Structure formats: structure tokens, C-alpha cells
Amino acid sequence: MSDIRPRPSVRRTLPARKRIALIAHDGKKTELLEWVTCWRETLADHALVGTGTTASRISRELGLEVDGLMSGPLGGDQQIGTLITEQKLDLLIFFWDPFAPQPHDPDIKALLRLAALWNIPVACNAASADFLISSPWLDKTYEMSIPDAGAWVADRSTV
């Protein structure tokens, strides 16, 4: 029998200066760079983090400061997931390639699962990224619900 009880949640306030992850699969890196170019001034007002080559290309080619993590297949997706669970990430821009098989596909699925679980806004293409980045909430504080991890752990320890 599945557990259908409501999940305990708490409130989290996202800061006005968002922490934004920028990730792109190889076949989508050029598209992400073009998107970042269009939104360069807006993104410059926020803290950026990215995986591997994506972060280094954005920094080198566009002059934006991007905290670079490992490449996705080497653990970068998991590093982004850690930032989500530690509540150190506010938005995820992930241009993933639906046509290219990825050897680290389980890591990608886990990252997207964490983003959904922790209520992180996610954009997976230029159109959805445009909507996120142009949101009136981008440069304002925003209050949202996230799982109450402490209550979840306490509940599981009594089982």
C-alpha cells in the first residue's frame, strides 16, 4: 500500500538575487550560449553556476562569472543536485538534448527529480527559459513550499 498522507512542508524564501544553474548537453551548448547572450544583462545580476564546458564557455565567450563544477558525466549533475538539496540553488536552466543518448542518464533523471521534489523552477528549452527569466519574481524575493526534511526523517525513523 502506498503512503498517501500529505507530505509535511515548510516555507522557503528565495532571495531577490537568484542562484541560477546553467547546463547544456553537447548538442544544445550553442543554443544555450545564444540564449545567455540575449539575457546577458539580466543574468549578470544573479549568481551563476554551471557544469563543465558549459560554465567555461559562458565565462570565456560572454564574460559572465560562472562558478564551474564538474562535467555532467563526471558528477556535475550530482553537484547541482546537492546544491538543490542544500537550498543553495533557485532556478535550473537545463537545455537537454532529447535526441542524444546520454551515458549519465540516471544522473539527469535524479537531478530533475530533485528539482521537482524541492520545488525548483526548471526550464529545459529556450522558450521555457524565456518565461522564467522574464518572470516578475526573478528579481524579487519569493516564498514557496519545500519538503520538511526534518519531519520526513523523523517520520521514517518511527517506521
pTM over 0.75? The answer is yes
The answer to whether 33 and 57 are in contact (CB under 8 A) is yes
Phi, psi of 80 (to 5 degrees): -65, -40
Q: Which CATH superfamily is domain 14-157 in?
A: Methylglyoxal synthase-like domain (3.40.50.1380)
From first to last of its 159 residues, what are the pLDDT tens digits of the chain? 455 666 788 999 999 999 999 999 999 999 999 999 999 999 999 999 999 999 999 999 999 999 999 998 888 999 999 999 999 999 999 999 888 777 777 888 899 999 999 999 999 999 999 999 999 999 999 999 999 877 766 666 655
Q: Which residues are catalytic, by number?
A: 77
The pLDDT assigned to 106 comes to: 83
The pLDDT assigned to 152 comes to: 65
With b for 16 or more beta-carbon neighbours within 10 A and e for fewer, the 107-135 pattern comes to bbeebbebbeebebbbbbbbeebeebbee
The pLDDT assigned to 1 comes to: 47
